[in-house]
A and B are shown apart, each in its own frame.
Chain A
């Protein structure tokens, strides 16, 4: 019987050091995970725990909270601010912040309303104009930051006011533009859901892609004499992912189904995740956020990286603004004001993207916004006033930042910072 695996494992290129505790099997993976968490490398753990707590509490108080109809609404609401939050993740990764995402999204929705409804441009052009506005604002911030050394929070705080002014100015004296009901955009924002069978089919894709890509990676690593995940591990991961998604789709299909808008949000998250973790650009973003001077000396064009982060943030804020206009079927003076700004930033932080730069992932926008919208939806079901909602959301943000800071301190003392 030839089982060269055991002897080969000990000689793997990356497993030769005897100090290393190997964790390739399922037991080892669990041990590694516990070890990481203890050292303060929490990843998405706090947010998942938080989500479970939130769901249990609200369901206990009002069983409607976990009803499929409410969950579908929740996903519609998640998508708009979630997309904005995706841009905030980019800013936080390079260690900067954009405080004006709410205003930028409001301006984008106003541009959409004015250009499409009042001026009568075709819809695609109006969308491009709105998103282009956001990108342009991001570009202006990056110029202020790169050329004049303006701290990002000051530049964007000034922008917050200026952009809000621009929004009010172009909306004119009426202050509000209604988008026509029945138009594709408004349907997209309010009604369109993935057909139920298609929903089940689409939910298979992530598991299959994960299985195929991890299997290919494992084969390549084995060919290169590096340690690799076992087939069982890969299958287990893909299986759990698929089961989870199918259950989610099943629950949502009990009501209207999975909103297309949420699908768009998830697609953007996945694309950004790939870009941030598997491309040279994403690596450079993290490097700049971790140690700007080191990145510069490694030949990374630090200014271009900052510019890309600012422009992406503005772009995502504008996309979120367009989605919000579709969702509300109007472009008004209120769009993008109130808690939009804070929710978008809070979502990124709650989801596990560090305020201190260099750490985080696109998924934190998805996880974080689900937490925030769950709280908001739960409190609405409880019929609490917005005053209490603000206070509770503020407290959750504070807790998230405390967890982030404590985890960072723990990482430092465990040498994982």
Chain B
């Protein structure tokens, strides 16, 4: 993997230090650190309640972090609302996709970013929508159909195409394959690789170890709202599962972390 050698030296696109988030008495995230580089897919894995989705929501500006520092493109940033994150260049594809089913594909892709607000430029928007979809080699029959008529994979494609509209530097994918069949999952994984090859940083939340291993360059494990190790995709399933579940046998997790640290340097 030639990329990881250079990414280690390069300034990361996104760098989190000591991020914490409380919901009332519940400490959802504690002291999270994470670096993501350009042209890299970082998978965020963890058990239910590990704080993956909370972290995504903080990065997308849905919830503000309680404490900690977020550096984006070498700047300290404050993500107060979804608009702020978007205009910085952080695009999010939520697990529920956040599409308006009553609007067509073009309207969804340009939602909140319409061209010429006082007399919508439908032609330019439609052409741009086709461009985005074609760049992703997406197979959507018509962009003038309402989203309700599309399949799960097609909706995922529309959501990803929408996130690329503003040419973001970082794209967050929350469970992109959770609701999809085998073929559609493969299509979305292809899509993620194409996005990465365009030089974007990708953070992908997933439960599915197979999918994670297929596309991720690094795998960050969260457990009960804390960092629990960074792995390479060639880490064994046992190691990952141990880190995710917090296995009794500490030797395995120690070994996994050691291997992860060793693995980064020579490869």
Contacts and interface: CB of A to CB of B under 8 A. Distances in A.
A and B from one assembly? yes
Interface of A: 13-14, 17, 19-20, 217, 220-221, 224-226, 278-281, 283-284, 286-287, 289-291, 293-300, 358-359, 411-412, 414-417
A291 B126 contact: no
B253 interface: no
B59 interface: no
Identify the 10 closest CB pairs spanning chains A and B, nearest first: A280-B117, A298-B112, A290-B102, A294-B98, A358-B102, A290-B100, A299-B83, A299-B112, A298-B111, A17-B141
A414 B98 CA distance: 21
Contacts of B103: 283, 286-287, 290, 358
A378 to B, nearest CB: 35
Per DSSP, chain B at the interface is loop
Contact of B139 (A17, A289, A411): A17
25 contacts: A17-B139, A17-B140, A17-B141, A19-B141, A226-B123, A279-B119, A279-B120, A280-B120, A281-B117, A283-B107, A283-B120, A286-B103, A289-B102, A290-B102, A291-B98, A291-B100, A295-B100, A296-B82, A297-B60, A299-B83, A299-B113, A412-B148, A415-B150, A416-B149, A417-B102
Contact of B130 (A13, A287, A411): A13
B247 interface: no
Given A280-B114, A283-B107, A416-B148, A217 B119 contact: no
Given A17-B141, A417-B148, A291 B82 contact: no
Nearest to B62: A297
B107 A294 contact: no
B142 A286 contact: no
Interface in B94-114: 94, 96-103, 107, 111-114
Nearest to A288: B100
Contacts of B112: 284, 287, 295, 298-300
A297 B84 CA distance: 11
B81 to A, nearest CB: 8
B267 interface: no
Interface in B70-98: 82-83, 86, 92, 94, 96-98
B99 A294 contact: yes
A218 to B, nearest CB: 10
B143 interface: yes
B127 A226 contact: yes
Contact of B101 (A14, A281, A290): A290
A278 B120 contact: yes
A298 B139 contact: no
Contacts, number: 109
B146 interface: yes
Q: Which of A13, A289, A297 has the most CB of B within 10 A?
A: A297
Contacts of B6: none
B84 to A, nearest CB: 9
A220 B107 CA distance: 19
B182 interface: no
Given A14-B126, A226-B123, A289-B102, A283 B111 contact: yes
Contacts of A297: 60, 62, 82, 92, 94, 98
A201 B99 CA distance: 45
Contact of A293 (B98, B102, B127): B98
B144 interface: yes
Contact of B99 (A19, A226, A291): A291
Contact of A299 (B82, B122, B150): B82
Nearest to B98: A294
Contacts of A20: 141-142
Contacts of B98: 291, 293-294, 297-298
A293 B140 CA distance: 24
A212 to B, nearest CB: 14
Contacts of A412: 148
Contacts of B249: none
A268 to B, nearest CB: 18
Q: Which of A289, A294, A295, A359 has the most CB of B within 10 A?
A: A294
Nearest to A293: B98
A13 B127 contact: yes
Given A217-B123, A297-B92, A14 B100 contact: no
B149 A415 contact: yes
A56 B150 CA distance: 41
Contacts of B126: 13-14, 224, 226
Contact of B124 (A224, A225, A284): A224
B26 interface: no
Nearest to B116: A280
A287 B127 contact: no
Nearest to B94: A297
